[in-house]
Structure 1
Amino acid sequence: MLLSLVLHTYSMRYVLPAAVLLGAAPPYILAWGAWRLLSCFLPARLYQAVDDRLYVTYQSMVLFFFENYTGVQILLYGDLPKDKENIIYLSNHQSTVDWIIADILAIRQNALGHVRYVLKDGLKWLPLYGCYFSKHGGIYVKRSAKFNEKEMRNKLQSHVDAGTPMFLVIFPEGTRYNPELTKVISASRTFAAQEGLAVLKHVLTPRVKATHVAFDSMKNYLDAIYDITVAYEGTVDDKGQRKEAPSMTEFLCKECPKVHIHIDRIDKKDVPEEQAYMRRWLHERFEIKDKLLIEFYDSLDPERRNRFPGKSVNSKLSLKKTLPSLLILSGLTASMLLSDAGRKLYVKTWVYGTLIGYLWRKLFGMNCFQSAFIEASEDTKRMLTAKRMR
């Protein structure tokens, strides 16, 4: 009985973080919505700067739970992040926690508010946040033949024109690597073999479209590309076989003692611009990732297993960077829930905020609207240029 209670309590460690993170959504969205209305007639850069600051507040609270609360060790290898660069972040993808890893590196680069994601199109229907992520600079994309290159290019160009700080996160595999999903792995390897590319063991064959569009649109604005390889310690079973990476719930239950992050900073001049050459270059980068992961998971030398080559830095995140955000957002949430009017507003924000977001995306499509605006602006510029030439 006592043992069952202990095990149950341990498994519920994720409840507090989940309750706080989800519970803070309405006050956060209300704060953002109020600022969005107030900033309608202000310069776009001012809106973006405050929006980035709001984003830092929420994501710092997220990192409080995923770093300080779990006590996970973050081990960094290779090129340590530089402050506030405009970058494309390319990473292997194996867990929902990978999104948090981008935040973990961004906060160490003092660029947490600049994180923008290239997201699967289905995530745009997330309650409240599906709408917000797009407004913060996220880009929703569909796979393969449905990929809308023009839409992505236009949105990125709008960020470049506005001087928006960019920490653009892309997972070129397109879906998570899970050793238990043998059909996905087999299809990935078959595709690589058909295309004359090296077959990979611990990662899926990367797709180049989103990476190429991002680089081509931002190449004159970027400082570098960060090639990230992530490994979660404790994901090998007793037989030495790789297991599924921890989910967010498992991670919050402190089932991952260490995260190993290898960073290669690549100068943009070393990246080929043509898509055909970039495709080969990107696959070669994933071959390097695969070799790192083979050594991490499969090395027969115990001293080389569960680590990447070279020296590592144990990077601990200070409570000063996360606790204030937790207190601010928890305080706002509590203040809403303590009064009858606040509770009604809280519920209405969840319900009507979600419905408005769905309706807006369904009827108008934020990216389509923005694309039309950009095209109109470009047409205006061409007309003015033509008049001057006359």
Structure 2
Amino acid sequence: LVVCMMGTDAVMRCFSVNGATLLADFLVNSYLLHWISLLSNVILYGDLPKNKENVIYLSNHQCTVDWIIADMLAIRQNALGHVRYVLKDGLKWLPLYGWYFSQHGGVYVKRSAKFNEKEMREKLRAQMKAETPMYLVIFPEGTRYNPEIPKVIADSQSFAEKEGLAILKHVLTPRVKATHVAIDTMKDYLDAVYDVTVAYEGTVDHKGQRKLAPSMTEFLCKECPRVHIFIDRIELKDIPEEQMYMRRWLHERFEIKDKLLIEFYDAKDSKRRNKFPGKSVHSKLSLKKTLPSLLFLGGLTASMLLTESGRKLYVKTWIYGTLIGCLWVSIKP
């Protein structure tokens, strides 16, 4: 389907940027519904928005599954194809996907002094000018929380201590730059910010120590019992505008996440572990929503792989598409 998306996007943009965006959103929606249909053990807490909104989605980051979690929440508002990501710059070199994330409204950013604020603002303004529906996913930690790399966690905690910020246990110290630029640029375009906290069951060992969050393969093979998601919908008026104050606000939001995760993983009362506080909802997708995309994706894949000409086209598109995509993002990220 990525091959199909690349081709149709390139052709449609020659005639209409808005038309290309609408078609791309439809194709992405079909592709992601196939994967989301495999997410059966998801428990939701907190604010559960149902109406479509232009939002920024802020979440803790532990594994690749986090990306699919964002898509799963978006589908509740019929906004699945509208999900865009702020991504680490190195991901733009992913074969085919790196180019397509950029074309689909994704923003690649570098860390610290190399962060290009002007470039990010221009990309977001172009999306607003085209009246593109916005569901922008940001992982403010900048990298995954990985208990198998304790140095990253220790460095994050040392930085927080040096800056006079609260030291966090189950999340990393968040970086404010991308969040500030996104909110500041789109403040008149956005409806809200979603602060999302994700916890995976089965990621604590018998000694009470955190384990690595599940990989995509492990998750799809049902090696993670359940995923728990706490959502807090925040009005833009409740977020400080100046970067210095927003930095403090963002850290406070991650302090709240940390407290939720401490309760989830470390509560002394075993009955309070492996769940967030408050009422919960078991999120399920009906067959009516997922079957059409499954049939569409299956038919498209079959037409490509079951014929000799289709297989040749498939291989050539991966090879040449990757080369062209890498050239494209090196010139126009």
Cα distance, 1:35 vs structure 2: 4.6
2:2 aligned residue:
25
1:132 aligned residue:
100
Residue among 332, 335, 338 paired with 2:303 = 335
Specify the SS of the correspondent of 1:273.
coil
Kindly tell me: are residues 35 and 124 of structure 1, through their superposed partners in 2, closer, same or farther at Cα, counting changes over 3 Å?
closer
Q: Does structure 1 residue 85 correspond to structure 2 residue 53?
A: yes
State the distance in 2 between where 1:327 and 1:150 align: 42
Kindly tell me: are residues 309 and 334 of structure 1, through their superposed partners in 2, closer, same or farther at Cα, counting changes over 3 Å?
same
Kindly tell me: are residues 288 and 299 of structure 1, through their superposed partners in 2, closer, same or farther at Cα, counting changes over 3 Å?
same
Partner AA of 1:192 in structure 2: A
State the distance in 2 between where 1:129 and 1:150 align: 24
Is the helix fraction higher in 1 or 2? 1
1:253 aligned residue:
221
State the distance in 2 between where 1:172 and 1:253 align: 28
State the distance in 2 between where 1:86 and 1:202 align: 29
Counterparts of residues 69-148 of structure 1 (less than 5 Å):
72-148=40-116
Cα distance, 1:37 vs structure 2: 1.2
Specify the SS of the correspondent of 1:283.
helix
1:150 aligned residue:
118
Counterparts of residues 188-337 of structure 1 (less than 5 Å):
188-337=156-305
Specify the SS of the correspondent of 1:90.
strand
State the distance in 1 between where 2:9 and 2:251 align: 43
Q: Does structure 1 residue 52 correspond to structure 2 residue 25?
A: yes
Structure 2's unaligned 5+ residue stretches are none
User: Which string of whole-angstrom CA distances, capped at 9 and with x for unpartnered residues, describes residues 89-111 of structure 1?
Assistant: 00001111111110110111210
1:61 aligned residue:
34
2:14 aligned residue:
40
Following TM superposition, the consecutive aligned residue runs of length 4 or more in structure 1 with deviations greater than 2 angstroms are 44-47
Cα distance, 1:48 vs structure 2: 1.5
Specify the SS of the correspondent of 1:254.
coil
Bigger CA radius of gyration: 1
Kindly tell me: are residues 80 and 188 of structure 1, through their superposed partners in 2, closer, same or farther at Cα, counting changes over 3 Å?
same
Partner AA of 1:34 in structure 2: T
User: Which string of whole-angstrom CA distances, capped at 9 and with x for unpartnered residues, describes residues 324-349 of structure 1?
Assistant: 21221221111122222112111111
State the distance in 1 between where 2:15 and 2:300 align: 27
Partner AA of 2:150 in structure 1: T
Cα distance, 1:132 vs structure 2: 0.7
Partner AA of 1:46 in structure 2: G
Bigger shift: residues 45-54 or 250-259: 45-54
State the distance in 2 between where 1:123 and 1:323 align: 31
Cα distance, 1:116 vs structure 2: 0.3
- Percent of residue pairs identical: 72
1:14 aligned residue:
none
Counterparts of residues 344-355 of structure 1 (less than 5 Å):
344-355=312-323
Specify the SS of the correspondent of 1:322.
helix
User: Any conservation in 2 of the 1:83–1:111 contact (CA below 8 Å)?
Assistant: no
Bigger shift: residues 110-119 or 232-241: 232-241
User: Any conservation in 2 of the 1:227–1:265 contact (CA below 8 Å)?
Assistant: yes
User: Which string of whole-angstrom CA distances, capped at 9 and with x for unpartnered residues, describes residues 180-203 of structure 1?
Assistant: 211001100000001000000100
User: Which string of whole-angstrom CA distances, capped at 9 and with x for unpartnered residues, describes residues 270-302 of structure 1?
Assistant: 000000000000000000000000000000112
Partner AA of 2:232 in structure 1: D
TM-score by length of 1: 0.83
1:10 aligned residue:
none
User: Any conservation in 2 of the 1:115–1:168 contact (CA below 8 Å)?
Assistant: yes
TM-score by length of 2: 0.97
Partner AA of 2:183 in structure 1: F
1:170 aligned residue:
138
State the distance in 2 between where 1:151 and 1:58 align: 29
User: Any conservation in 1 of the 2:44–2:228 contact (CA below 8 Å)?
Assistant: yes
Aligned length: 333
User: Any conservation in 1 of the 2:109–2:115 contact (CA below 8 Å)?
Assistant: yes
Partner AA of 1:181 in structure 2: I
Kindly tell me: are residues 155 and 39 of structure 1, through their superposed partners in 2, closer, same or farther at Cα, counting changes over 3 Å?
closer
